[in-house]
Structure 1
Amino acid sequence: MKKALIVTYYWPPAGGPGVQRWLKFVTYLRDFDIEPVVYIPENPGYPLLDKSLVDEIPTGIRILKQPIFEPYKVAEIFSKGDSKTISSGIIAKEQEQSAIQKLMLFVRGNFFIPDARKFWIKPSVRYLKLVLEKEMFDVLITTGPPHSLHLIGLALQKSVGIKWIADFRDPWTEIGYHKKLKLTQSSRQKHLNLESEVLNKADHIITTSHTTKAEFESKTTRPIRVITNGFDKLQEEPITSDYFEISHIGSLLSGRSPEILWKAIAEIVEDVPDFRNKLKIRLAGKISSEVKENIIELGLQKYLQIEGYVSHKEALELQNRASILLLLEIDSVETRGIIPGKIFEYFAAKKPILSIGPVSWEAGKMVLDSQSGTYLLYSDKEKVKSWILDQFYQKEAQGVKQITSDISKYRRRELTGELADLIKKI
């Protein structure tokens, strides 16, 4: 049996999508004759917690830990709310940022390169070097963000010569929020240099999207493989609701909330009494204040139900009772390759998906290719209205439409098989 040392920051009880990918890979790797050993921080400052995920850690998995210094914990002394918000990835528009937010973003962008977990690099390298000198591993895997973990892989590859796979759940320098970090030219160049070194030294690179793969192929000749995120099992029985529930599961940033969607819903409410009497808008997760204000300004507050952060189990229940599932992305070139992890569990829920995002958005194309819903642009308000009304009348006449397309290639066990194949070849 081969052995893989997996370096990850996010691990239960961390909540959010970042923890799911490697928790599930670790769950299934033994089925493919690979023994995973997981290295995580001993005292992390996770912005989201989901203690229910602890029960999903496979029995007998060996977990190594070392302390980490978290600058965000220091920042909380000055502003706990701003620190939590920024570390969760919710960044207000420039004109609406407070002085303390602007300062935090500047410090985050220019003093913590590549990110605020940089202080874990040196102690991790020292500790893992001793582990690797005493014990044989076939491969080292680092997963980011935080991309500072790839620098752990880079240093260990140099010092002990282990084969190294760098897994990118998101891009590095081309991710949308980089522009909001108030980077100096010098800091921007440092990021580019570190990214280039990782991309050109890793033995193999994994991305979660073809768009990110294409971006990286312009920067390196190293082999790159796309292994998407996925789902565990299909929904067995839908939960019926008397309401027409339009639901979004996950963080909803200000830029990720298309105003045309809320305007379209407001216009339908005005024009269609039956729709008005049955509408419910359910948002679960971290929701920016701008999103709430936008919805309220359009007179939709009586239909709005904000669930706050919910456990993974509760998220699945909300998906299963929805009439429409919202998949939303910021309207920019940088976000074309972003595939939210929720899309795969949306597929498994077999409910119609309304995806609204940038031109050539890979996730939107996946919705169309899987025949799971529609993909529209920020300029398509009338199409949004028409599609929502079609789904409403469908539910009124026959119940919520159940999606029946084949999505088996996104099962997590199948995807772990692809990862195992790569590990054995490397």
Structure 2
Amino acid sequence: MAQTKKVLIITYYWPPSGGSGVQRWVKFAKYLREFGWEPIIYTPSNPERPAIDHSLSKDVPKDLTVIKQPIWEPYIFYKKLVGLKKDEKLGSGLMKTGKESSFFHSLSVWIRGNFFIPDARKFWIRPSVKFLTDHLRDNPVDAIISTGPPHSMHMIAMNVTKQISIPWLADFRDPWTNIDFFEELRLSKYARKKHHKLESKVLKTADDLVVISPTMKKEFQEITNTPVSVVPNGFDKDDFSEESYHPDSVFSLSHVGMMTPTRNPQVLWETLSELSKENHHFRNNFKLRLIGKIDGTIKEDIDRFNIQHLVQFESYVPHNEIIRIQQQSDALLLIINNTPNAPLILTGKLFEYLAAKRPIICLSPVDGDAKEVIDETKAGRFILYSERDRLKSEIMRLFQNWQEGINSYEGIDAEKYSRRSLTKKIATQLNELVS
């Protein structure tokens, strides 16, 4: 029997933190042992958690080694600046909670982009490099993985591997300089240049790169000759029951996850407004469930289109409950950001939507990687923001099927996107890296 190898995983997000950034590496850690790798986690002991989700802890092997070190972050000053209480949660990306002063929020964005490079976790880089360099000399591993954002995790790995020669795989769950909000950071020429320089240095220094979408791979290949592989997010079969779908008393279209200003589908609000006015059965029997953090501008638009009666807002819901909601929804809504990087966006929720086996409505400004997955799995309809008539027709088709008790799901098996299958791909790359 082959000897188990060890891999150190540097990640900012770890249970009890909630969200998609946690799920990716919790699930990989869950299955890596099956493929000959023992994961060792390095993570902050006191991070700024956007949400708490204790349900994810069930996937952490009980005897897993988790090394925690304290981190200092400037968020206490940010909260004072924008008028938030110490224990209030921050919005992800540049999203507003709705309680901040607009002026001070804008000022904080400028400070963040120009002084906290690559991100606000930069103050954890130096102490982590010192700690891990000493620790790994006494407790050697066969490989290191860093996962970002935050991209400070990559900076830690890069500097550790300068001190100790260990194969390094850098995992990008999102782009760096091509992330959807990068252009909103109000960067100086110096700051912009530094972000690009650090990104290029990480991409060229790592021994192997993993990204979550084909278009992202193409973009990175224009910067570096380092091998780039695609390992998307996925779904864990263990999370999904065999419970069959049963139509509810009202038709529910559910969106899971945060909705930022760039993920604000005006075409959907217009369409729902029209359908509500034209069809009283629709008006009385349709519900749009928005589950997660919602930017204030989106709530304003929902009020402006006078569709509040169709919308149900729900704050963060634990992952295990999210799964149940997805399986019992009549349809699932996926929104691709209206940003230049839209073609590469391949969110984790898409793959859990596939496992839920409910029809997907995907709204996007352009064709892209999400369309390829939806077309491949026949899991729903990919609709451009400009196709209002097509969106209206699809919503009514699903609604009428619900009225007649017809199951609208037509998808095929998506086993290749299971967490176990994807972990096998990561393990194969690690094996090649250390061979």
TM-score by structure 2 length? 0.94
CA contact (8 A) 1:239 1:320 kept: no
Separation of aligned partners in 2, 1:227 and 1:390 = 34
The residue number in structure 2 matching 1:75 is: 78
- For the residues of structure 2 that align with 1:143 and 1:29, how far apart are their CA atoms? 16
Distance 1:111 1:318, change over 3 A: same
Shift of 1:336: 1.6
1:300 aligns with 2:303: no
With 117-126 and 253-262 compared, the bigger mean Cα shift is at 253-262
CA distance 1:120–1:351, change in 2 (3 Å) = same
1:236 is matched with which residue? 242
Q: 1:124 — aligned with what?
A: 128
Deviation of residue 360 (structure 1)? 2.3
For structure 1, which segment, 41-50 or 233-242, has the greater mean C-alpha deviation from structure 2 after superposition?
A: 233-242
Instruction: Assess if the C-alpha contact under 8 Å between 1:295 and 1:301 holds in 2.
Output: yes
In the superposition, relative to structure 1, how do residues 251 and 212 fare at CA in structure 2: closer, same or farther (>3 Å)?
Answer: same
Rounded to whole Å, the distance in 2 between the matches of 1:393 and 1:368 is 23
1:356 is displaced (CA, Å) by: 0.6
* Structure 1 counterpart SS, 2:131: helix
Q: Match of 1:336, SS?
A: helix
Corresponding residue for residue 103 of structure 2? 99
Q: Which runs of 4+ in 1 moved over 3 A?
A: 80-87
- Structure 1 residues 116, 407: CA separation in 2 closer, same or farther (over 3 Å shift)? same
Give the Cα–Cα distance (whole angstroms) in 1 for the partners of residues 362 and 163 of structure 2: 46
Match of 1:286 in 2: 293
Partner of residue 336, structure 2: 329
Equivalent position amino acid for 2:317 in 1:
V
CA contact (8 A) 1:230 1:344 kept: yes
State whether structure 2 residue 137 is matched by structure 1 residue 150: no
Matching of residues 9-408 of structure 1 within 5 Å: 9-79=12-82, 81=84, 87-91=91-95, 98-233=102-237, 234-237=240-243, 238-408=245-415
Secondary structure (helix, strand or coil) at the match of 1:206 reads strand
Q: CA deviation at 1:333?
A: 2.0
Q: Choose which of 412, 415, 424 in structure 1 pairs with 2:422.
A: 415
Letter in 2 for 1:19: V
Q: Secondary structure at the match of 1:392?
A: helix
The code of the aligned residue for 2:178 comes to E
Report the Cα offset of residue 400 of structure 1. Answer: 3.3
Shift of 1:249: 0.5
Cα 1:215–1:336 change in 2 (3 A) is: same
CA contact under 8 A between 2:94 and 2:109: conserved in structure 1? no
Check whether the contact 1:333–1:358 (CA below 8 A) recurs between aligned residues: no
Where 2:67 maps in the other structure, the secondary structure is strand
Aligned mate of 2:9, from 6, 20, 40: 6
Cα distance in 2 between the residues matched to 1:296 and 1:312: 29
- Superposition TM-score, scaled by structure 1 size: 0.96
Q: 1 CA distance for matches of 2:358 and 2:225?
A: 40
Between Structure 1 and Structure 2, how many residues are aligned? 423
Opposite residue 148 of structure 1, the aligned amino acid is: S
Q: CA deviation at 1:14?
A: 0.7
What is the deviation of 1:81? 4.0
Percent of paired sites with the same residue: 42
Give the secondary structure class of the aligned counterpart of 1:248. Answer: strand
User: Counterparts of 1:184 and 1:97 in 2: how far apart (Å)?
Assistant: 23
RMSD: 1.6
Mapped contact 1:251–1:285 kept (Cα < 8 A): yes
Kept in 2: contact 1:82–1:101 (CA 8 A): no
**Contact 1:90/1:288 (8 A) holds in 2:** no
The whole-number CA distance in structure 2 between the counterparts of 1:65 and 1:80 is: 30
State the shift of 1:403 in Å.
Answer: 3.5
Higher mean C-alpha deviation, range 328-337 or range 33-42: 328-337
What is the Cα deviation at residue 38 of structure 1? Answer: 0.3
Aligned equivalents of 2:307, 2:372: Cα separation in 1: 30
2-structure distance, mates of 1:359, 1:338: 11
Against the structure 1 CA distance between its residues 245 and 316, is the aligned structure 2 distance closer, same or farther, given a 3 Å change threshold?
same
Distance 1:118 1:104 in 2: 16
Cα distance in structure 2, aligned partners of 1:147 and 1:403:
39
Cα separation, 1, equivalents of 2:177 and 2:8? 26
In structure 2, how many angstroms separate the alpha carbons of the residues matched to 1:82 and 1:359? 39
Distance between the aligned counterparts of 1:408 and 1:32, measured in 2? 18
Stretches of structure 1 that go unaligned for 5 or more consecutive residues are: none
Contact preservation (8 Å) 1:367, 1:374: yes
Letter in 1 for 2:74: P
| 122-131 vs 353-362, greater mean Cα deviation | 353-362
How far is the alpha carbon of 1:91 from its aligned partner?
Answer: 3.2
Structure 1 CA distance, aligned partners of 2:321 and 2:92?
20
Secondary structure at 2:171's aligned position in 1?
strand
